[in-house]
Structures are given as structure tokens and as C-alpha cells.
Amino acid sequence: MDVGIAESVAHAASIAADLIQRAGRAKPEVVLGLATGSSPVGIYDELGRRVSDGRISLAAASAFMLDEYVGLPREHPQAYRSVIDEIFTRKVDIDPTRVHGPDGTARDVGAACADYERSIRAAGGIDIQILGIGTDGHIAFNEPGSSLASRTRIKTLTRETRVDNSRFFDGDLDAVPSHCLTQGVGTILEAREIILIAAGNAKAEAIRQAVEGPVSARWPATALQLHPEVTVLLDPAAASRLDLADYYREVWASKPAWQRR
């Protein structure tokens, strides 16, 4: 696991965009995995700027969202499909028909989840997965107690996650759906490369557990320790509880060119 403690969240987003740009140059048909929420917004803004000035093109890329609320119509402004259109798709030059998400309105949820897994496989798998992290240690919406081998399925959101996300619903906790469809931890671990971005004090404990805690379903993000190509990009507040922060800074600063991804 590479831990990059950036000067700011904007700096972390720019490092993430560098990694995506490099992958996109090596493989124009790169398959991206997209997180929704506030954490990746700076990455998507930076990718938008780089598309505008010609440094990168995502015209041949495709993308798969991590998760979707159950029961919100596609056009609901907080349906993750609408959010991703707003924060990512319309900012870059990707073909919108190649941006996929789980169908949170499906009548047959099991079939929709199995279809989603099939479509990820048919695209050749995810090359770079972008992740945020919940204050309770979730990745995608794999809440504490999730199987570390899980696949795309329906999950119940914790009260903590619903409270956290009520800021997107005018503070109305009752308006936050209680269920979601989410890629499983096992699905996420199949991505070839993973970038996790986190900022702020509220994420510091989840990050401490994810990076330095024992691997456990209690903190699902700890499963990332089992993946060989993970970059965790943090602002100083999110890194504030890491025991080995000074070591991570030293490693990052002295990384030889051959080791930089």
C-alpha cells in the first residue's frame, strides 16, 4: 500500500489524476471504477481540466459506478446515476453510454446485481478503481460486517452512513434511502489498481483502521491491505491518526522513479 500524505485535498486529487492520466495514456480504453460522494469530486474536476487542455482524453474509456441507492428514480438529483453525470460524465469527454451503474430501480435485484458483475467482466475488468471511505470504514457501501469476499448485492446502510449522507438530502435523514446496491469487497479487490482518497478529521479513524488496523469485516476498508496496487491519498487531517505517518512521508518523498506508478 502506498500512502501519500498530500498538502491538501486538491493536491491529493491532482496526484490521483496523474495516476489516471498515466493509465489512460498506456491504455486509451481504460476501464475506470467511479466512487460518488464528495471525496472524488476534486479528481473529476482535475480530469475535466486535463481533458479541456488536451492532456488526457477519456473518449475511448468506459466506467463502472460502485453503488446506487435502491428506490430513487434515475432522474432524482441524489440518485448516484444523476450525481455521477453531474460530477464526472459531463465534465470529461467519455461517451455517456459507456458509464454504467447498478440499477437501483430493478424489480429483480439479484438479477440486476448478477448482470452488473457480468458487464464488468465483459468490459475486461476495472483497470483503476477510485474509492472514498465512510466514517464507519465502508468502501463502496460495504458496511461493517460485510463479507470481504462479497460480490455486487443489496445492502442496508448503517445509521451512521445515512446521517453522514443526509447532508445531500437537505439534512432530512428520512429522505436518505435505507438500502443500496453495491459492488462487493471481492468485486473491488479484482480491480487492477485502486486509489482511495480521503480528507478531513472525520475520516481519520477509518483511515487509521484501513491502513494500519487488523484486516477485519469490522472495518471493510482493511481488505485493501490484501491488494498489491493500492494508493491511499490523504490530506493532513485524514492522516492525523496514522502511527507511521512520518515513515509514509519519507517513503513517498524518496520514491525512486522506477517505483513511481
Interacting span for ligand F6R (CB under 6 A) from 52-60, 87-95, 97-105, 136-144? 136-144
Quote the CA–CA distance of 163 and 160 in Å, as a whole number.
5
239 touching ligand F6R, by CB under 6 A: no
Quote the CA–CA distance of 228 and 214 in Å, as a whole number.
17
What's phi and psi for 205, nearest 5 deg? -70, -40
Nearer to ligand F6R, 61 or 198 (CB): 198
User: Treating both helix axes as pointing N-terminal to C-terminal, what angle do 9-26 and 41-52 enclose, rounded to 10 degrees?
Assistant: 50
| 143 given a catalytic annotation | yes
Instruction: For residue 233, list its beta bridge partners.
Output: 4, 197
Interacting span for ligand F6R (CB under 6 A) from 126-134, 147-155, 237-245, 251-259? 126-134
Instruction: Produce one character per residue of 137-166: b if its CB has 16 or more CB atoms within 10 Å, e if not.
Output: bbbbbbbbebebebbbbbbebbeebbebbe
| 67 given a catalytic annotation | yes
46, 117, 138, 193: which one is catalytic? Answer: 138
| 76 given a catalytic annotation | no
Member of 4, 134, 137, 184 binding ligand F6R (CB under 6 A): 134
| 45 given a catalytic annotation | no
Quote the CA–CA distance of 152 and 186 in Å, as a whole number.
9
Instruction: For residue 65, list its beta bridge partners.
Output: 34
User: Residues near 73 by Cβ (< 8 Å), separated by ≥ 6?
Assistant: 79, 105
Member of 35, 79, 195, 211 binding ligand F6R (CB under 6 A): 35
46, 67, 164, 193: which one is catalytic? Answer: 67
Member of 4, 9, 32, 36 binding ligand F6R (CB under 6 A): 36
Q: List the interface residues with ligand F6R, window 37-96 (CB under 6 A).
A: 37-39, 66-67
Member of 138, 153, 155, 208 binding ligand F6R (CB under 6 A): 138
DSSP annotation of 219: B
> Given the rule CB under 6 A, which residues bind ligand F6R?
35-39, 66-67, 132-134, 138-140
Give the catalytic positions in this structure: 67, 136, 138, 143
